[in-house]
Amino acid sequence: MFVTFEGIEGTGKSTQIAMLRQYLEAKGRRVLVTLEPGGSRVGRELRKMLLHMEGKDLTGETELFLYLADRAQHVSQVIRPALDRGQAVISDRFADSTVVYQGYGRGLDPKLLHQFNKIAVAGLWPELTILLDIDPELGLKRAMTRNMREGKVKEEGRFEAESLSFHKRVREGYLMWAALNKERFKVVDASPGAQAVFEDIRRVVDERFGT
């Protein structure tokens, strides 16, 4: 079982992943929760470069190749070995984030990005991708509140600091990309309370995997 979560900042990806992990473990599955960027040792170094406020001088191309490097390492060192050990893997962001943020968000060609992703993932695609969809104003409000509470504005705040119009483009991009990849994507409304959102996710996961 390989499931990925996508969606703009503050949609509740981390929150829902924690709930799904608990649910699956209670059913006796061994679960590995991982994330991008930063799922591997090398990836953790890359994450600092990618998300720190000082990374404002990264060019679009540099940003792209750092994400792809993170992904290639993540797949070969972390995700594939875990699946081979029989674990269920849940990743907080994966290849679709690149198509959507660097493509629909920053204006690079989504089809070309998909080709780069093919190299990075080396044939390993998720069986299910849950897109948490929310109005960016609400998502950003959630993310900002969390960053302030956790004192992480500087280390992790680069995307939250982007303009609202950027996040609106990203949201629309996610919905377009999901429509083009219907067999893998499920779009879930992330605006209700966490428990209600999880009910939808649980239904989707049960349907797909017969858990």
Ligand X SMILES: Nc1ncnc2c1ncn2[C@@H]1O[C@H](COP(=O)(O)OP(=O)(O)OP(=O)(O)O)[C@@H](O)[C@H]1O
Write each residue from 176 to 195 as x if it is in contact with ligand X (CB under 6 A), else as -, in one continuous string: -----------------xx-
Interacting residue with ligand X among 3, 4, 6, 11 (CB under 6 A): 11
Distance from C-alpha of 113 to C-alpha of 103, rounded to nearest angstrom:
7
- State the burial class of residue 55 (Cβ atoms within 10 Å of its Cβ: 0-12, 13-18, 19+): middle
The Cβ-side half-sphere exposure at 113, using a 13 Å CA radius, reads: 26
Is the separation of the CB atoms in 128 and 204 below 8 Å? yes
Neighbours of 50 (CB within 10 A): 21
Looking at beta carbons only, is 14 or 87 nearer to Mg ion? 14
Shortest distance in whole angstroms from residue 21 CB to ligand X = 13
**Based on CB atoms, which residue is closest to Mg ion, 114 or 144?**
144
Judged by CB under 5 A, the stretch of 7-15, 96-104, 139-147, 184-192 that binds Mg ion is 7-15
In the region spanning residues 139 to 168, those forming contacts with ligand X, defined by CB under 6 A, are 142-143, 145-146
| Interface stretch with Mg ion, choices 13-21, 36-44, 183-191, 193-201 (CB under 5 A) | 13-21
Of 78 and 197, CB closest to ligand X: 197
> Applying CB under 5 A, what is the total number of residues that bind Mg ion?
2
Kindly state the smallest distance separating residue 28's Cβ from ligand X, in Å.
Answer: 25
Residue 147 CB neighbours (<10 A): 18
Residue with structure tokens 């929150």? 15
- Residue 83 in tokens: 């699946």
Residues touching ligand X, count (CB under 6 A): 15
**Cα–Cα distance measured from residue 190 to residue 124, given in angstroms and rounded to the nearest whole number:** 27
Q: ω into residue 37 within 30 of 0, thus cis?
A: yes
Q: CB under 6 A: which stretch of 2-10, 23-31, 100-108, 173-181 binds ligand X?
A: 2-10
**Tokens at residue 5, please?**
């979560």
Q: Which is closer to ligand X, CB of 113 or CB of 190?
A: 190
Residue with the two structure tokens 């992703």: 117
Q: Which residues bind Mg ion (CB under 5 A)?
A: 13-14
Q: Which residues bind ligand X (CB under 6 A)?
A: 7, 9-15, 142-143, 145-146, 193-194, 197
